[in-house]
Chain A
Amino acid sequence: MTGFYTLLYKELLRFWKVAFQTVLAPVLSSLLYLMIFSHVLAERAQVYADVSYAAFLIPGLVMMAILQNAFANSSSSLIQSKITGNLVFILLTPLSYLEIFLAYVVASMLRGLVVGLGVYLVAAWFYPVSPQLSGWVIVFALLGSAILGVMGLIAGIVSDKFDQLAGFQNFIILPLTFLSGVFYSIHSLPSTWQFLSHLNPFFYMVDGFRYGFFGFSDFSPYISLLIILACLVVISGWALWMLRSGYKIRH
């Protein structure tokens, strides 16, 4: 276990040493979203009765920050180590592929959760909103950050260059988070888009997370939970298989 804890510690230190970029910057940009959207859309986008648009937006923004930062952490750490070549320091050790997997994913989860908490604290200072059902909030935050941490791991393994990783970020992660109902309720969408939203796993993460805040949501939180659990299992299996076979890492 010492090996796992050490790698986890190293991964945490890696983002904590540059917390200005890895924590403060994303908190700030979420805050800008909140300022702009809540002003522009305040009158036009009443989503649920009794819930102001700003209050509706905050859980979405928190979850978006969790997801994007969890992804950013494992993917950028891996690609940097691959490109600079220092991944060899880990590859030369007896660390098992499971330990490597867990260390990268747990570190990503913590980065996502720290940023998410930061966004929440700052946003709630402007627009007080507190979770009704904290259990759901915690479960969805953990699962969402885990899935994106694993996705980041896969993206980091598959990419050989920074621009390939940027491709993942711009063509997969960004559209999926923006179209997951962070800024709106999917009930306000035309039916085709509603249907497409249901194919987006990020939708269930955001929706379930929001359920924890308000006690109601677009979709049943139990089904959302099952769907994202299934996603986590499938994607983890895939990542573990890659690590185990040495895909792209041990030629």
Chain B
Amino acid sequence: MTPAIEVQQLSKRYGALTALDDIDLKIEQGEFFALLGSNGAGKTTLISILAGLIKPTSGTARVMGYDVQSQYQQTRQRLGVVPQELVYDPFFNVREMLVMQSGYFGIKHNDVWIDEILFRLDLANKAHVNLRALSGGMKRRVLIAQALVHKPPVIILDEPTAGVDVDLRQSLWQFVQQLNQDGHTVVLTTHYLEEAEALCRRVAMLKQGRVVVLDSIENLVRTIRDYTLLLRLSTNILPDGLQSWTVKHDPVGELYRISIKEYTEIETILSLLREAGIQIIDLQLRQPDLEDVFVKTMEMDQAVAL
């Protein structure tokens, strides 16, 4: 089967800055894929090249087998992109926007599907409200709706949940999961890693324009065997005995994070604290998750990561 997205030796330079550095990436049809990375890693740049909003410096990008530059009409017909920036046209209301967006894709009578999208995104009662009069989260929903008017087989969401409330976040993901089950390929970027972990099967992590990790979440989490012991204590002076563990102090909520490999280590730590007369106010044990993978990947020296 043709991959939904296929990128080969793709680079994008802005003068001296290399936003994408020789990227290879293949996403199969039907996948639910996460593109992760810190601010400035190159996620939006990659998406913009796929959408034809910017031109690569070198390399090729294909959507459903079509080249994004030479066959742009085919690729754009198959691609729905939710841009990261919260943009809107202040001249029109929600329904007008969706009807027009359908028209740009050559679709004349799209009311049934538009109604369904409005309903799914909880916008039905805002259909006749001017975009200017919507809150930020609602504008974001309209952006999502606009990306879906032409039922694209490949959907790319660039931080769709930034600024969106909890209720909608859940119904949005339900909707997107439904689309994915119906056969749409979904690619998303997000800084909420638990979202990616809950929804996606595979992830790519970008760092300074390079793909440093590309694997299923299951495999990635399995490589990390460390549990994290979270502790809130009555003091901030730790007993010397704890020095043999990696202890991180998180000033938010005065938390100590201690990496452990075995459950038996917990007992040793607790007894050390008891001997020092330190009281435990709160204690949690955390399983390794995608965030640990992410943090570890980003901390790694670039040379090692490659």
Contacts and interface: CB of A to CB of B under 8 A. Distances in A.
A171 interface: no
Nearest to A10: B100
A89 B143 CA distance: 9
B260 to A, nearest CB: 48
A226 interface: no
B89 A86 contact: yes
Contact of A94 (B73, B85, B102): B73
B103 A9 contact: yes
B90 interface: yes
A96 interface: yes
A3 B104 contact: yes
Contacts of A6: 100, 102-104
A2 interface: yes
Contacts, number: 78
A3 B89 contact: no
Nearest to B79: A92
A85 B103 contact: no
Nearest to A84: B87
Contact of B108 (A2, A13, A17, A92): A2
Contacts of A233: none
Interface residues of A, number: 26
Main SS class of interface, A: helix
Contacts of A44: none
Given A89-B89, A92-B76, A2 B106 contact: yes
Given A84-B87, A86-B87, A94-B77, A5 B103 contact: yes
Nearest to A87: B87
Nearest to A15: B91
Interface string B132-149: 000000000000001100
B72 A88 contact: no
B103 A3 contact: yes
A246 interface: yes
B68 to A, nearest CB: 11
Nearest to A77: B91
Q: Which 4 A-B pairs have the closest CB atoms?
A: A6-B103, A85-B87, A93-B104, A94-B73
13 contacts: A2-B107, A6-B103, A9-B100, A9-B103, A10-B100, A13-B91, A84-B87, A86-B88, A89-B104, A94-B72, A94-B76, A94-B77, A95-B104
Interface of B: 51-55, 72-74, 76-77, 79, 81, 83, 85, 87-92, 96-97, 100-108, 146-147
